[in-house]
Amino acid sequence: MKAFANMLIYALLYAVVRLHALLPMAVLYVLSDVFYVLIYRLVGYRRRVVRSNLEGAFPHLSPDERLRLERRFYHHFSDYIVETIKLAGISHEELLRRAHLRNPEMVRPLLEAGHKSLILVMGHYGNWEWFTGFPSRFGGLLEVCQIYRPLDSPAFDRLFRHLRTRFGARCVPKKDVVRELIHTARPTSPPALFVFIADQTPSRANLHYWTQFLGRDTAVLNGPERLAVKMNLPVIYADVRCESRGHYTVDFQLLTDTPRSKPENWITEEYTRRMERTILRDPAGWLWTHRRWKYSR
């Protein structure tokens, strides 16, 4: 009975999303403006969290400046919602035009050097969902595996997996990463890019590394570094820019192709510093609704 209920919820969710995805982006952005009023003005979705995060990250700004930044963020967040809905119907060509990877060729020398798996770290910046179009950018050189934590709702989890895999990427649950890396190392398996969105708060059991991030003492995920060192995998950072409404670019930046030669925590620290620079360039593009600083030491 529960399985049937989840299937029914998914069918309804998908129908609503698919119908809205048929609308042109111009119309969806009008809908985004309506969402902004609902989410920010009427509901006040996580407004206290956002306000607290902005106050901690930008104490030097005046209250009016932080308020303007807060409003810009909620406009962006509303855009993120309709853009993610659009994934159900957007053409591959339009997606690649709107979410443009400038330098896909940088993976080639790493593959030619014999690396079967590459680690890509990025943050909840811009519209990270739109970069599911990555696979075709590499001309068949490698697969793209998105590491994710399954959602509590089976219906929503199925919906997001569908959206994220429409253009050839694969979703790999966090608990299966090591097994997938071992599988990719086999001679008969194609090379793969493993994408980690690594700016979320670690669980209480994984508070292994702390550093300064946006001016605050912050617990940082170091799982990508541990995997890179253990299996000697190159690590790439995805530097995302919000160019204009509905248009994003990303530049791949090689952090290291010799992870075992780096001091402990160097990779995690370097990723954190680059993510910080990405955010400070245009703070409204980051996911400020996340409770990033809920732990202290």
Convert the pLDDT of each residue in 237-284 to its tens digit.
Answer: 999 999 999 999 999 999 999 999 999 999 999 999 999 999 999 999
CA dist., res. 147 & res. 173, Å (int): 6
List strands edge to edge, sheet with 99-101: 99-101, 247-256, 235-244, 117-122, 192-197, 143-148, 170-173
Residue 91, beta-bridge partner list: none
Give the pLDDT confidence of 204-248 residue by residue, as tens digits: 888 889 999 999 999 999 999 999 999 999 999 999 999 999 999
- Mean pLDDT for the chain? 95
Q: How far apart are CA 222 and CA 225, in angstroms?
A: 5
Question: Is the distance from CB of 196 to CB of 169 less than 8 angstroms?
Answer: no
Q: What would the pLDDT profile of 43-76 be if each residue is shown by its tens digit?
A: 999 999 999 999 999 999 999 999 999 999 999 9
Is residue 1 pLDDT above 80, yes or no? Answer: no
Q: Please report, for residues 77, 219, 283, the alpha-carbon distance to residue 44 in angstroms, rounded to integers and kept in the order given.
A: 13, 27, 20
How do residues 7-32 score in pLDDT, each as one tens digit?
999 999 999 999 999 999 999 999 99
Give dist(CA 131, CA 239) in Å, integer.
12
Q: 3-class SS at 277?
A: helix
Q: Within a 10 A sphere around the Cβ of 9, how many other Cβ atoms?
A: 16
Give the model's pLDDT for residue 273.
Answer: 98
Backbone angles phi and psi of 60, in degrees to 5: -80, -15
pTM metric for this prediction: 0.95
Closest CA to 274 of 256, 291, 248, 260: 256
CA distance 9 to 14: 9
More confident residue, 138 or 33: 33
Q: What would the DSSP string read from start to end of 8-47?
A: HHHHHHHHHHHHHHTS-HHHHHHHHHHHHIIIIIII-TTH
If DSSP codes are grouped into helix, strand and coil, which group holds residue 143? strand
pLDDT for the residue 110: 97
pLDDT of 75 reads 99
Instruction: Please write down the long-range contacts of 282-286, taking CB distance under 8 Å and 24 or more positions apart.
Output: 282/241, 282/242, 283/54, 283/57, 283/58, 283/69, 283/73, 284/69, 284/72, 284/73, 284/75, 284/76, 284/242, 285/76, 285/125, 285/126, 285/240, 285/242, 286/73, 286/123, 286/124, 286/125
DSSP labels, 99-119? EEES-GGGHHHHHHTT-SEEE
